[in-house]
Amino acid sequence: MSGHHRSAPDPYFPGHGDARFRVHRYELALDYRPVPNRLAGTARLSAIAGRAPLTEFQLNLGDFRIDRIRVDGRPTHYTLRGGKLRVRPAKPLAASAAFTVDVHYSGNPRPVSSPWGGLGWEELTDGALVASQPVGAPSWYPCNDRPADKAAYQISVTAPSAYEVVTGGRLLTRTTRASTTTWLYEQPAPTSSYLVGLSIGKYQTVLLGDPGLRGVPQTGHFPARLLADFSRDFARQPRMMNLFEELFGPYPFGEYAVVVADEELDIPVEAQGMSLFGVNHVDGARGAERLVAHELAHQWFGNSVTVADWRHIWLNEGPAKYAEWLWSERSGAHPARELALAAHRSLAAQPQDLQLADPGRKSMFDDRLYERGALTVHAVRHALGDAAFFRMLREWTAVHRHGVVSTEMFTAHAARFAPRPLDDLFEVWLYERQLPPLP
């Protein structure tokens, strides 16, 4: 992909991420005590310098005490101020050199403040929850906090044995000693820092559906009192998984976990290979089923295929919202065109001052972005016809599997499947603020 996405700071969060190097693996070993909300950890980052020698580099990290930092095993100069950990190796790192950074740190994790409230590590009444989108990851570990920098993760968390620890990836081992248990997870798929989810709570765990020989293992983790309601509300998730694999291509990760935290959450949040819901999303009447579909669809759109920077967030939310409509259509509820009509009516009655392709930081999570994003996907479906449209989507998720994308890459990709040019369609839906008529 073009170089400018790789090297420029994120236009919405210029203080997050450092384009002068990239991380290809994080190894986190954390010890968490819920009652004092105390986290002690070591993070080892395996990284590669960019095209220029590195005299210094920056990680993002919250307000922790740093016990020590080593670069390639050697002590180094560093400062931690305002969420920025600046590291100056004893001698500069050569261009393209592989290097490791070890950070030993401890403290009381707290959310990163943002226009949308606290992001990242949240202390719950009993346990903790991490939902980092877009810039909450530094609330609990040092990272190169930009969506385009994707890495593999190994995460070990030690917590009191009464708690279950859930994160994305495969549980390799669970070891109990005296009163604590250590959970070791491996996520080999390239993962953006904002998508590293974590939940520590007292849960019951169930298997959803029968993964069979080739199916995706799906687990649910929730407060035991919610068993009956959870079982009804998530009963159709295995069918969604089958449908989305048919429509979007193979599920991009090794497994999928859903967690219901014992807390009310404004909205569910996707993470790599897992999604986090609140108790308010479980009613035993499938009242939030569209959200179950939405979060699952993010595993393809957002998690495997990730935005190069936050201007392009409609590429996450448009297809995930449209997946709700596809699920509705395929499960015998309302067809997508009816839901598109309703969304169009609702948008027509609201201010039309949003540019979908670059909404600005203030509007990146605006409901209108989700709705208009889905309508844009619907307009493309209309222009391509179903056969070409679904072929286009499957190829999009295949070509960019575990990669990063931009709006320009999507418009160029979709155009290859169209019987006639899509320039006008994309101009009005993506770049003009006025709502176009529904096709």
Q: Check: CB of residue 165 under 8 Å from CB of residue 157.
A: yes
* List 78, 141, 322, 370, catalytic entry: 370
SS3 content of the chain, % helix, strand, coil (to 5): 30, 30, 40
141 catalytic? Reply is no
Question: Where do we find the tokens 């580099």?
Answer: 57
Pairing mode, strands 256-261 and 274-278: parallel
Q: Check: CB of residue 292 under 8 Å from CB of residue 237.
A: yes
Q: Give the C-alpha separation, 363 to 361, whole Å.
A: 6
- Annotated binding-site residue? 317: yes
Q: Give the C-alpha separation, 182 to 164, whole Å.
A: 10
Q: Compute how many other C-beta atoms are within 10 angstroms of the C-beta atom of residue 75.
A: 11
Q: Give the C-alpha separation, 83 to 18, whole Å.
A: 13
Nearest alpha-carbon partner for 243 in 340, 328, 330, 315: 330
Question: Where do we find the tokens 């009381």?
Answer: 108
Instruction: Give the side-chain half-sphere CA count within 13 A for 292.
Output: 30
- Annotated binding-site residue? 298: yes
Long-range own/partner contacts, residues 175-184 (CB < 8 A, 24 or more apart): 182/156, 182/157, 182/158, 183/156, 183/157, 183/158, 183/159, 184/154, 184/155, 184/156
Q: Outline where DSSP puts E strands in 74-169.
A: 74-75, 77-81, 84-88, 98-107, 120-124, 127-131, 151-160, 164-167
- What the block records as the tokens of 374 is 């889905």
Residue 381 CA, distance from chain mean position? 25
H helices present in 38-136, as ranges: none
246 catalytic? Reply is no
User: In terms of C-beta density within 10 A (0-12 exposed, 13-18 middle, 19 or more buried), how is residue 374 classed?
Assistant: buried
* List 122, 295, 324, 371, catalytic entry: 295
Residues involved in catalysis: 295, 370
Residues comprising the binding site for Zn(2+)? 294, 298, 317
Residues comprising the binding site? 294, 298, 317
